Amino acid sequence: MNLGIIDYGGGTLQSVRNALRCTGVEARYVDSPAGFAGMDALVFPGQGRFDDSMAGLHRQGLVEPLREWIAADRPFFGICIGYQALFERSQENPGVAGLGVFEGEVRKFAARPGLKVPHMGWNRVRLSHADGAAWQGQEVDPYFYFVHSYYPAPADPALTAGITDYDGDFVCAIERGNLIATQFHPEKSQAAGLALLGQFVRRHGGGLE
């Protein structure tokens, strides 16, 4: 299996690559349009600012190849900023356009006394399709690891794959066709995260049995 990790000049690339090794795949970094050739699946990980991430994608010519990849329903896994960038815009940087794959806005947790922002640590995920192929091997309402101050609010509720409660419910995972994207970090989520990454890899032709 040829698995690519989108390298836009930031993010948690090495930790994701290490996690993918545990699933039996040696992923390669994709940092130019030419790098998409021959890939079977892509992972877009990240951590950091929305504007910096989009600037990196534009600088390296990755915006249109990514849009085309996703439009063709080729296997894609977005993590954290790789989830947020799929939407039209973010409250973090008004005026900066996202990839616009899905309608919706990335919103910030509302500041209030007693609420810690960023949302950091383990939290429960209520799965919308717990019996779906992507989530095989997960416990009921599994725990995953989060580090974020912003979260997408998809306009289309049919995208929802997982919901987490942090001062109210937010959509922490989406699915459509061969695309999955999560606000939590599977590479930091121990057994549950490795199971999710491993299932993605196996569904698309690679990894350990």
Helix H or strand E segment including 145: strand 143-148
Q: What single string gives the DSSP state of each residue in 55-80?
A: HHHHHTT-HHHHHHHHHTT--EEEET
Which residues are part of the catalytic machinery? Answer: 80, 185, 187
What is the pLDDT, as a whole number, of residue 47?
Answer: 83
> How many domains are contained in the chain?
1
What is the pLDDT, as a whole number, of residue 206?
Answer: 77
What is the pLDDT, as a whole number, of residue 208?
Answer: 65
What is the pLDDT, as a whole number, of residue 194?
Answer: 97
Torsion of CA 129, 132, 134, 139, to 10 degrees: 70
In a domain, 195, yes or no: yes
What is the pLDDT, as a whole number, of residue 65?
Answer: 98
What is the pLDDT, as a whole number, of residue 11?
Answer: 72
What is the pLDDT, as a whole number, of residue 19?
Answer: 97
pTM (predicted TM-score): 0.96
In a domain, 125, yes or no: yes
Report the CATH number at residue 121.
3.40.50.880
Q: Which domain holds residue 162?
A: 3-203
What is the pLDDT, as a whole number, of residue 174?
Answer: 98
What is the pLDDT, as a whole number, of residue 111?
Answer: 84
Q: pLDDT tens across 162-201, in order?
A: 999 999 999 999 999 999 999 999 999 999 999 999 999 9
In a domain, 209, yes or no: no
Write the DSSP symbol of residue 86: T
The sheet with strand 104-108 has its strands ordered as 89-90, 104-108, 150-154
In a domain, 93, yes or no: yes
In contact, 102 and 156? CB cutoff 8 Å: yes
In a domain, 85, yes or no: yes
What is the pLDDT, as a whole number, of residue 97?
Answer: 98
Cβ partners under 8 Å of residue 188, min gap 6: 15, 145, 147
Helix H or strand E segment including 89: strand 89-90
In a domain, 208, yes or no: no
In a domain, 158, yes or no: yes
Interatomic CA distance for residues 85 and 82, integer angstroms: 5
In a domain, 65, yes or no: yes
What is the pLDDT, as a whole number, of residue 209?
Answer: 54
Instruction: Copy the structure tokens of residue 142.
Output: 């599994």
Where the chain has pLDDT below 50, the residues are none
